[in-house]
Amino acid sequence: MSAILEVEHLSATINGQLVVEDVTFSVPGTGVTAVLGRNGVGKTSTMKAVMGLIGRAGRVEFDGHRIDREDTHRIVRRGIGYVPEDREVFAGLTVAENLRLAERDAAPRRELVEQLFPDLVRRAGQRAGTLSGGQQQMLSLARALLNTNRLLLVDEPTKGLAPKIVTEVAEALEEAARTVPILLVEQNLPVIERLAQDVVVIDAGTVVHTGDARSLLDDDEAVHRLLGVHAETTPAPEGAK
């Protein structure tokens, strides 16, 4: 399977501070690739560096094109959708208005979004700022899925959500992954187990492990060494297989 994204020796700085030191990995053209690691190791910064949102150096190739010197606007137009950690929605606008503003394509995929997120259809007239955290996450994902992207970068979509909502977000991502490859930063091991085929583990600004998700999650010693948690002790989200 050829890679849709290849990242080689990526480094990145924020306010002159090196936050990504030397990151190399690739993302296959189908399925979910999870980026794992302890808090503060540079997962979000790696995503931002790929998107050109922070100063970066190294090589990033998307679908055969170098994008490491391109600005964010150009990268987005090439077909990379980004769903940031802080669920950027326009709080003062309604759900419907938030969705309309995200439409970039001539033929936005409204039917797909309505099928994936029926709750958003029911809440079309509700102001986004009054949605729950999980509903805002759905809206944020829906905004990215409206356009025909060729890769989605999704940063910690289940963070801070109740277990039932974690399951709903995981289901939506699972459906979305049938249509677009996803690079997913995620800390919830059962969600990774459910969604990811491949994993990339980052520690202190560099990649310390890549491989298939199943082999890592089955190896409790490796999970503990790399992530500082035990695979078995994490509660499974409702409905997880």
Ligand X SMILES: Nc1ncnc2c1ncn2[C@@H]1O[C@H](COP(=O)(O)OP(=O)(O)OP(=O)(O)O)[C@@H](O)[C@H]1O
- Whether the Cβ atoms of residue 26 and residue 207 lie closer than 8 Å to each other: no
- Residue 56 makes contact with ligand X by CB under 6 A: no
- Residue 149 makes contact with ligand X by CB under 6 A: no
- Residue 233 makes contact with ligand X by CB under 6 A: no
Residue 187's Cβ-side half-sphere holds a number of Cα atoms within 13 Å equal to 16
**Contact with ligand X (CB under 6 A): which of 7, 43, 190, 194?**
43
**Residue partners of 19: CB distance under 8 A and separation at least 6:** 12, 13, 42, 45, 54, 205
Measured distance CA(32)–CA(240) in Å, rounded: 16
Which of 120, 191 has the CB closer to ligand X? 191
- Residue 42 makes contact with ligand X by CB under 6 A: yes
Question: How is residue 230 written in tokens?
Answer: 């035990």
Which of 40, 129 has the CB closer to ligand X? 40
How many residues belong to the site for ligand X (CB under 6 A)?
12
**Contact with ligand X (CB under 6 A): which of 7, 10, 34, 44?**
44
Output the smallest distance, CB 196 to ligand X, in A.
16
For 204: left if phi > 0, alpha if psi spans -120 to 50, otherwise beta; the answer is left
Residue 14's Cβ-side half-sphere holds a number of Cα atoms within 13 Å equal to 10
Site for ligand X in 2-41 (CB under 6 A): 14-15, 17, 19, 37, 39-41
Q: Rule CB under 6 A: which residues touch ligand X?
A: 14-15, 17, 19, 37, 39-45
